[in-house]
Every structure is written in C-alpha cells, then in structure tokens.
Structure 1
Amino acid sequence: MSNLRTPEVEDLLEVLSSMSDKDQLYALCEDLFTIREMKETSQRLSVARLLDGGKPYTAIAEATGASATTIARVSKALNYGSGGYRYALDMLGEKQ
C-alpha cells in the first residue's frame, strides 16, 4: 500500500465504489471538490480521451483549454501510470 492509500483514502474509495446513483455521487463530488477542482479533474479525463484517440497536443489544448503541462502530465499517467485512466476510458468506451 502506498503512502497515499491511507485509511481515510480507503474510506473514500469505499464510499465512491458503493454509490450507484449519479445524482448522489454528483452531490458528494460537489461537496468534496471546489468548482475549479471539478472542472480540472473532468478536463483531465477529456484530455486522456483525446490523447488516447491520437490527437496532437495543440488540438487537445484548443479543444479543452488544458495547458501543455497538464496534457503532458495526463499523457505520462496514461502511458506509465497505475492504469486508472485506461480503466476509465475503457468504461466510457463501453457506454458509447
């Protein structure tokens, strides 16, 4: 277990994984995150989707408003991270 995966993080993961109602989940996110954090987090998922689709950084920056630094960080996580983006993108792909 990494240093970040504390009992408090485990509690958060338990709550998030057990919520199936999107409105309840949205309400929790609205309480947990600032407006800016919600926008930035959802932006990163959009960046990951576009990167996965082979879009160049300039097109991604234009489409999402993300900085080159953010795009590079998402790219690094998508390619060398823990697999979270891959799992999320696969989930979203199944819903389309």
Structure 2
Amino acid sequence: MSDIRTKDVDDLLRVLASLDDEDTVFALLEDLFTIREIRETSQRLAVARLLAAGKSYAAIEELTGASATTIARVSKCLSYGSGGYRAALDVLEAD
C-alpha cells in the first residue's frame, strides 16, 4: 500500500463507505472539496466511462472538455491502476 494510506485516510474511507444517501455524500463532498475539485473528479469518472465504452480521445475531449493529459492519465489508471475506476464503473453499470 502506498504512503498515503494513513489512519486519517482510513477514517475517510470508513465514513464514505458507511454513507448510503447520495445527498449526504454530496454534502460531505461540498465540505471537503472545492467546486472545481468536485467537477474535475466527476469529469475523470465520465472520461473513464467513455474510455471503457471505446470512445476515442478526440470524442472524449469534445464530450467532456477533458484535456488529452487527463484522458491519458485516466486511461493508464483503467489499464494499470488499482481497480478503483473499474469498481466505480461496475456500480454505474448496475444502475
């Protein structure tokens, strides 16, 4: 595990995992992150979804406004990351 996995991070994970109401999660996100950070994080998830659907970088850039660098970073995480994006996409596909 990386150096970022501390007790404080584990506490945050425990809180996030225990919240089951989207409005409460959103309220926490609003308190924890800036509007820009929420938008950028949401954009990365949208990029992951489009990459998984086989869309081209150009199409994703046009649809989301994400930079080629962001798209490449998300693509790398989808292929070689810890599986977080895949787990998130599985949740979205289950809906």
Q: How high is the TM-score relative to the length of structure 2?
A: 0.98
2:44 paired with 1:26: no
Ranges of 4+ aligned residues in structure 1 off by more than 2 Å: none
Instruction: Determine the C-alpha separation between the residues in 1 that align with 2:3 and 2:51.
Output: 29
Count the aligned residue pairs: 95
2:56 corresponding residue in structure 1: 56
1:23-64 Cα distance to aligned partner (Å, 9 max, x none):
111000000000000000000000000000000000000000
- Over the matched positions of the two proteins, sequence identity in percent amounts to 68
Structure 1, unpaired ranges of 5+: none
1:77 corresponding residue in structure 2: 77
2:86 corresponding residue in structure 1: 86
1:39 corresponding residue in structure 2: 39
Letter in 2 for 1:31: D
Instruction: Determine the C-alpha separation between the residues in 1 that align with 2:24 and 2:89.
Output: 22
Q: How high is the TM-score relative to the length of structure 1?
A: 0.97
Q: Residue 54 of structure 1 aligns to a residue in which SS?
A: coil
